[in-house]
A and B are shown apart, each in its own frame.
Chain A
Amino acid sequence: MARPAVKSAAMLLAAAALVASFLLARSGCGRAGRAPGEGRAGPSAIAPGGDQPKTMIELYFSLPDGSALATERRLVRRDEDTVAQSRAIIEELKRGSEGGLAPLLPVEMEVRAVFLVGKELVIDLQPRVREAAAGTLQEALIWYSVVNSIIMNVKQVSGVRFLVDGLETDAILGHMDMRGAFSERLDLVKWY
C-alpha cells in the first residue's frame, strides 16, 4: 500500500513550507514599506524588550469655563527628534483632554508641515484653519495651548511661529497678531 509514503511526503512538504515562511519573514519580504524614521537606531527606537520609551509631559487645555488654560499630565511616546516630539504633542492636543478639561484646537486646524529653524519651531497650517471661528480670549488660549505645550516640554524649542500655507500672516483667527515667534505665557494658566 502507498498510504505511509504519501503521509511522510506530505509531512516533509509541510516542514519545508514552514522553514521557507520563517526565512521569508526574517528577510522582510512581503512587508509594507517602512514609515520615515521607523526602526531607526537611537533612544527613540523600540527597546529590546518591545517597550516604546515614554515620557511624561504636561499638556495645556482650557478650563471648562473657558477662562484660562490648565495643565494635564500624560505619558506619551518619547522621541529624541525635536520635530517628531513636537508633532506628537500637537496630536495629543488634538485628541483632547482625558481629565475633564475643554478641548481647544478647532477641527479645522490641520498641520501642513513642522520644521525647526534654530530654536524656533515653525508650524505651517492648512488654509482651512481660517474657517475656524473663535472669540478673542478663546483665540489666545488656542495659540498658547500649542506654544506652552511645546516649549514647556521640548527643551530644544524656545519659540513657536505659525504659518498658513507656507506664509506668515498678520491674523489667522481674526484677533491676534500672528507675525513673529511666540514664547510661552504662563500667566494664562490657572494652577491648582
Chain B
Amino acid sequence: MVIPFPSVEMPIPKVIRPAAVITAACLLLAPAWARAAGEETGAAAEGIVVIDPGHGGGDQGINSPAGLLEKDLTLSLARRLKNKLETNLGLKVILTRSGDYDVSPLERAAMANHNKADLFVSIHLGGAASQTADNFMAFVAEPRPVRDGAPQAAPPSWLPWNEQNGPHREAGRRLARAFLVALSTWLAREAVDPLGGDWLVLKGVGCPAAMVELGSLANPERERTYLEKSFMDELSSVLFEAVNRYLEDDLG
C-alpha cells in the first residue's frame, strides 16, 4: 500500500500555519542570534583555553641559585591565569598538568587537540649562562628553515601531526605579539618580535598557540622578584590582559 505524499491542496489546520512560520523564522535567524549573543558576552565566552605550565615531575626546568624551580613557578602562574580567565571572561580553562608530574611536550599538544582548544598558552621561565640576562620573550611555531636548493618533500594532501599548528600560525603570532606588547609596557622596555622556531609543544597544536618565557632565573634580581607574591599576581594580570586584548582584537 502506498501512502500518498500530502499535496498542497490538502487542507492544513489553521492553527499549524503560524507555528510553521515561526519555526521557519527561528531556524533562519538562529545563526544570527548566536553571533549576536557571542558579541555581547565576548566572542570566546564559550571558548576553551589550554594553559600549559612548562616542565613538571622529574623535569624541573631551570633551577635558580636560591632553589626556586621553574616547574613550580610555571604551575603557580598558570593557576593564577586560569582563575582570572574563568572569573573575568567566563572561559573554560584546562591545564595540561595540575600538579607536579611529567607530561611530555607531545602529550601537552595532544591534550589541547583532544579538548578542542581555541587557544593554547605555554608558560616558561628562562635561564642563561650570564647572570645579567633577563629576557621576556614569546615564541611561535614555525617550520625549520631549509637551505636554498635543498631537496624538499612534496607536501602531503593531509595535515601531519607536526604541522597541525600551520593554519593557525598567523593567529599564534598575533597572540605572541599581544604578550610581548603587554609585557614590554609593564616592564617599560622596548617590545621585541616573537621568535619563530621548531618548538615541540606548539607545532602539533591545532589552534592559535604561543609560548612565553618570563625572565631568567639565573638573574639574581629576577629571582628575588619571583619570591614576592605581589610580583606573581601582577605578572599573571599582565598575561591575562594580553589574552583579553588578543581575544578582543582577533575575535571581538
Contact = CB atoms under 8 A, between A and B. Distances in A.
Chain B contact patch, size range: 35 or more
Contacts, number: 100
Interface stretch (A12-20, A75-83, A179-187): A179-187
Given A174-B105, A175-B200, A177-B200, A133 B61 contact: yes
Contacts of B200: 170-171, 175-177
Given A137-B135, A174-B55, A176-B198, A66 B62 contact: no
Contact of B128 (A66, A176, A180, A185): A66
A175 B201 contact: yes
Contact of A135 (B132, B203, B213): B213
A55 interface: no
Interface in A91-111: 102-104
A21 interface: no
A166 interface: no
Chain A contact patch, size range: 20 to 34
A104 B129 contact: yes
Contacts of A174: 55, 59, 61, 105
Interface stretch (B76-84, B90-98, B139-147, B241-249): B139-147
B26 interface: no
B147 A159 contact: yes
A170 B105 CA distance: 9
B115 to A, nearest CB: 22
Contacts of B104: 171
Interface in B118-137: 124-130, 132-135, 137
A176 B130 CA distance: 21
A133 B144 contact: no
Given A136-B137, A136-B213, A137-B137, A180 B144 contact: yes
22 contacts: A62-B130, A65-B132, A65-B135, A66-B126, A66-B128, A102-B133, A134-B62, A135-B125, A135-B213, A136-B124, A136-B137, A137-B195, A138-B127, A138-B129, A140-B197, A174-B105, A175-B201, A177-B144, A177-B199, A177-B200, A177-B203, A183-B150
Nearest first, the 4 A-B pairs at minimum CB distance are A66-B133, A135-B126, A66-B128, A135-B127
